[in-house]
Amino acid sequence: MANSVFGHLDEEEILQQAERCLGCGKPTCKDNCPAATPIPQAIELYRTGKTLEAGRLLFQNNPLCLLCSYMCDVHTQCEGHCIRGRRKRIMPIPFWAMERQAAGAYLKALLGQEAVPSQGQSVIVLGTGAEGVAAALLLAQQGRCVQLRNPDGTPGVLLARQAAEGNVPQDVVFLYERLLAHWGVQVSAGTPSDEAGTATLDCRETGQASPGRPAELVTRAKQKVAQLLTES
Ligand code: SF4
């Protein structure tokens, strides 16, 4: 199966690729995404110039969508199962490029919007990797007062390691750090002592995602956050 080059495409090339999407009713791209990203709908929004709406759709499904556009092994997931790539030498749709554009634009737009005022129960999220950051963003979006803590004592979010290892550009990690700060999420090191009126969500990623599948961690975070919100 042909694959796109996981490298640079300019905006015109990305739009040309978006135009090639068939908008499948039973999208095999989505079926093979660990986050079940609504890929045809996002591509359609992007294709028709609604970049921020595409970004919002992607972010609401997966707050780490921008990170995933760099880290996912697309050749075994969405792109690798795109129906357009079924014939040899025909390029599948490089959805990662549209996701990267739309998610990046939407994250920047969020930084210009007022944060949701904190209300309800405070939550300490343990673990500052992808699962913890996703959970913190989901909870902050719901107006919860969130503290993100790294029990192993490392300051800052562990996402920064991905930038240090060259998997993700530094400015993408900065964007997530700025969004956490903008939404009032406090990031610190250390294990919490019992704090009255505060719930704890363990996102220490004891069961790591498969390599190249960070969306698995986001899905796990969504499940944990949904359970916490149901119980509280
Ligand atoms: S499988 Fe390919 S052509 Fe079909 S909706 Fe997904 S990206 Fe578009």
Together in a domain, 72 and 129:
no
Residues 48, 90: one domain?
Answer: yes
- Classify residue 4: in a domain, yes or no: no
Q: How many other CB atoms sit within 10 Å of the CB of residue 15?
A: 16
Best substitution site from 3, 4, 29 to test ligand 1's pocket, by max atoms within 8 Å of Cβ?
Answer: 29
Q: What is the pLDDT of residues 168-209, one digit of tens each?
A: 899 999 999 999 999 999 988 877 666 667 899 999 876 565
Helix (DSSP H) and strand (DSSP E) numbers for the chain: 10, 4
Q: What is the number of structural domains in the chain?
A: 2
pTM for the model: 0.90
Question: What pLDDT is attached to residue 2?
Answer: 39
Over residues 130-143, the pLDDT tens digits come to 899 999 999 999 99
How far does the centroid of ligand 1 lie from the alpha carbon of residue 63, in Å? 22
Asked if 71 and 165 sit in the same domain, the reply is no
Domain boundary among 111, 138, 161: 111
pLDDT of 67 reads: 93
Asked if residue 1 is part of any domain, the answer here is: no
> Is the beta carbon of 22 within 6 A of some atom in ligand 1?
yes
Residue 129: CB within 6 Å of ligand 1? no
Q: Is the CB of 190 under 6 A from ligand 1?
A: no
Q: How far is the CA of 23 from the centre of ligand 1 (A)?
A: 6
Domain housing 146: 122-231
Give whole-number Cα distances, 158 to 37, 78, 88, 153, in Å. 24, 26, 40, 11
Residue-level pLDDT at 4: 46
The pLDDT, as a whole number, for residue 213 is 80
Residue 126 pairs in a beta bridge with 149, 202
The answer to whether 131 touches 35, Cβ cutoff 8 Å, is: no
Token couple for 43: 């591509």
**Given the DSSP bridges, would you call strands 145-150 and 198-202 parallel, antiparallel or unpaired?**
unpaired
Spell out, as residue ranges, where the chain has pLDDT lower than 70: 1-7, 88, 155-156, 192-196, 206-211
- Look at residue 2 and tell me if it is in a domain: no
Is there a single domain that holds both residue 21 and residue 102? Answer: yes
* CA angle, 230 then 120 then 110, to 5°: 95
Tokens of 116: 């949701």
Determine the pLDDT at residue 225.
Answer: 96
pLDDT digits (tens, 9 = 90+) for 1-12: 334 445 678 899
> Which CATH number fits the domain that encloses residue 24?
1.10.1060.10
